[in-house]
Structures are given as C-alpha cells and as structure tokens.
Amino acid sequence: MQVEAWLLLPYIDALDQEYLHDVLQVGRWLIPTLERHFEAKKLTPEFLRDWGNFCRAAGALQLVDLSDTNLGRLREAQGGRKNNLDAQRRWFAHYCLQLVKDGQSLISAKKSVEGLIQDIVSGNKDIPDGFDVK
C-alpha cells in the first residue's frame, strides 16, 4: 500500500507541519541531483551544498520519526493549566490503578491507559462520565 511519507511521521502538535512538509519536499527534490553527483564521483562545492541540505532535511525528519509522542507527557507539558492537569493525573491514576489491581504491571497499565486516552481523543471510544475531551 502506498502511503504519503508525512503520514508515516508521528504528528506532534508543537511542530510546524508545513515546515516538515517543505523539508520532505526538499529532500525528495535533492535525490536526483545527488544521484548525478554520485555518478560523477567528484567532490565539488555544489555536491557539498546539496549533500548538506539533504542531511539537514533528513535530520529534521529523523528527529520527528524517532520522537516518542507520549500523550500523557504531551498533556503534562501544557503548562499553566494546573487544575486541568491535576484532574488528568487523577483520571490517569484511577484507570492505571484498576489495571494494576487486575494484575498488569505498572508499565503495561500505563501503556493501556495511554491507548485508552488516544482512543477517546480520536473518537473511537466514549468519554467516561464526569470527564470531557479537554
């Protein structure tokens, strides 16, 4: 199945998505030029410029690709919303504790609750009573 490359990268709200798309396009655009440089087997200033620009694009995309987009940490990082953060922590701890009592390890329980949160935010599961998406 063919999928656009930017759909394979995790979405990180804090990053400029247009910039990432542009970086991806620059990398794609440079590939034929670099292939010609490789065939010529000459070290030229143009090759160094093109190779440096390609590495810059690849580095930016690699950073995003290797990012661990932990939804719990994303919510935690939203400073200035202490009351909301406390409610989120209580909600998270409530569900996590239930899973640990049912025999899951703490790490497994955290991953399960993070998956539940992602399902709720994406609309795949209903929001528990007393809570809202925000």
Q: Mark whether 91 and 118 lie in a shared domain.
A: yes
User: Cα separations (Å) of 32 from 6, 38, 46, 56?
Assistant: 20, 10, 14, 17
pTM above 0.75, yes or no: no
Q: Mark whether 77 and 58 lie in a shared domain.
A: no
- Phi and psi at residue 28, to the nearest 5°: -60, -40
Q: Mark whether 103 and 58 lie in a shared domain.
A: no
Residue 131's pLDDT band (boundaries 50, 70, 90)?
low
Is the pLDDT score of 71 beyond 70? Answer: no
**Averaged pLDDT, 29-49:** 93
**Residues 6+ away with beta carbon under 8 Å from 116:** 95, 125
- What is residue 6's DSSP assignment? G
> Quick check: is 16 in a domain?
yes
**Averaged pLDDT, 32-37:** 94
Q: How many domains does the chain have?
A: 2
Query: What pLDDT digit, counting tens, does each position of 77-112 carry?
Result: 555 444 566 777 777 888 888 888 888 888 888 888
> Quick check: is 28 in a domain?
yes
> Quick check: is 128 in a domain?
no
Is the pLDDT score of 37 beyond 80? Answer: yes
Q: Mark whether 18 and 57 lie in a shared domain.
A: yes
Answer with the one of 20, 46, 65 that is the final residue of a domain.
Answer: 65
Domain that holds residue 14: 5-65
Q: Mark whether 53 and 75 lie in a shared domain.
A: no
Is the pLDDT score of 43 beyond 60? Answer: yes
